[in-house]
Amino acid sequence: MIDNPEMVTAKQMDNWVHKEATDEKFIGKRSISLNKIAVKVAREIQTLNSQSAKWIASDAIRELTSEKVLARLSG
Protein backbone atom coordinates (compact mmCIF):
# COMPACT_ATOMS: atom_id res chain seq x y z
CA MET A 1 0.00 0.00 0.00
CA ILE A 2 2.77 2.46 0.90
CA ASP A 3 5.45 2.62 -1.79
CA ASN A 4 8.16 3.59 0.68
CA PRO A 5 6.90 3.29 4.27
CA GLU A 6 10.23 4.52 5.64
CA MET A 7 9.36 7.93 4.19
CA VAL A 8 6.31 8.29 6.44
CA THR A 9 7.50 10.27 9.42
CA ALA A 10 6.01 10.09 12.87
CA LYS A 11 4.99 13.74 12.49
CA GLN A 12 3.09 12.99 9.26
CA MET A 13 1.35 10.05 10.88
CA ASP A 14 0.51 12.14 13.94
CA ASN A 15 -1.06 14.79 11.73
CA TRP A 16 -3.05 12.11 9.89
CA VAL A 17 -4.28 10.56 13.14
CA HIS A 18 -5.25 13.94 14.56
CA LYS A 19 -7.25 14.80 11.46
CA GLU A 20 -8.86 11.35 11.44
CA ALA A 21 -9.84 11.64 15.08
CA THR A 22 -11.34 15.10 14.82
CA ASP A 23 -12.94 15.42 11.40
CA GLU A 24 -15.21 12.96 9.63
CA LYS A 25 -14.28 14.45 6.25
CA PHE A 26 -10.93 12.66 6.23
CA ILE A 27 -10.33 9.48 4.31
CA GLY A 28 -10.73 6.76 6.92
CA LYS A 29 -14.14 8.07 7.92
CA ARG A 30 -15.63 8.71 4.47
CA SER A 31 -16.70 5.18 3.61
CA ILE A 32 -16.21 1.64 4.82
CA SER A 33 -13.94 0.85 1.85
CA LEU A 34 -11.71 3.86 2.53
CA ASN A 35 -11.73 2.98 6.23
CA LYS A 36 -10.39 -0.49 5.42
CA ILE A 37 -7.62 1.04 3.29
CA ALA A 38 -6.68 3.51 6.05
CA VAL A 39 -6.53 0.68 8.60
CA LYS A 40 -4.38 -1.38 6.22
CA VAL A 41 -1.94 1.51 5.79
CA ALA A 42 -1.80 2.05 9.55
CA ARG A 43 -1.02 -1.66 10.02
CA GLU A 44 1.82 -1.33 7.50
CA ILE A 45 3.16 1.67 9.40
CA GLN A 46 3.11 -0.42 12.59
CA THR A 47 5.81 -2.61 11.03
CA LEU A 48 8.29 0.27 10.76
CA ASN A 49 11.30 0.38 13.05
CA SER A 50 10.06 3.45 14.91
CA GLN A 51 8.39 3.42 18.30
CA SER A 52 6.58 6.71 17.68
CA ALA A 53 5.29 5.55 14.28
CA LYS A 54 4.06 2.31 15.86
CA TRP A 55 2.31 4.19 18.66
CA ILE A 56 0.68 6.65 16.28
CA ALA A 57 -0.42 3.89 13.88
CA SER A 58 -1.93 1.97 16.81
CA ASP A 59 -3.82 5.09 17.82
CA ALA A 60 -5.16 5.46 14.27
CA ILE A 61 -6.26 1.82 14.21
CA ARG A 62 -7.99 2.21 17.56
CA GLU A 63 -9.89 5.27 16.28
CA LEU A 64 -10.71 3.86 12.85
CA THR A 65 -11.98 0.56 14.23
CA SER A 66 -13.97 2.07 17.09
CA GLU A 67 -17.61 1.09 17.44
CA LYS A 68 -18.68 4.71 16.89
CA VAL A 69 -16.85 5.07 13.59
CA LEU A 70 -17.84 1.65 12.26
CA ALA A 71 -21.50 2.18 13.26
CA ARG A 72 -21.57 5.49 11.39
CA LEU A 73 -19.99 3.95 8.29
CA SER A 74 -22.26 0.91 8.21
CA GLY A 75 -25.45 2.79 9.01
> What is the tens place of the pLDDT at every residue in 18-72?
665 555 556 787 889 989 988 998 899 899 898 888 888 898 899 889 999 899 9
What pTM, to 2 d.p., does this model score? 0.68
pLDDT at 6 over 60: no
| Contact of 42 with 20, CB cutoff 8 Å | no
Q: What is the pLDDT of residue 67?
A: 94
DSSP state letter for 72: H
The pLDDT value recorded for residue 18 is: 61
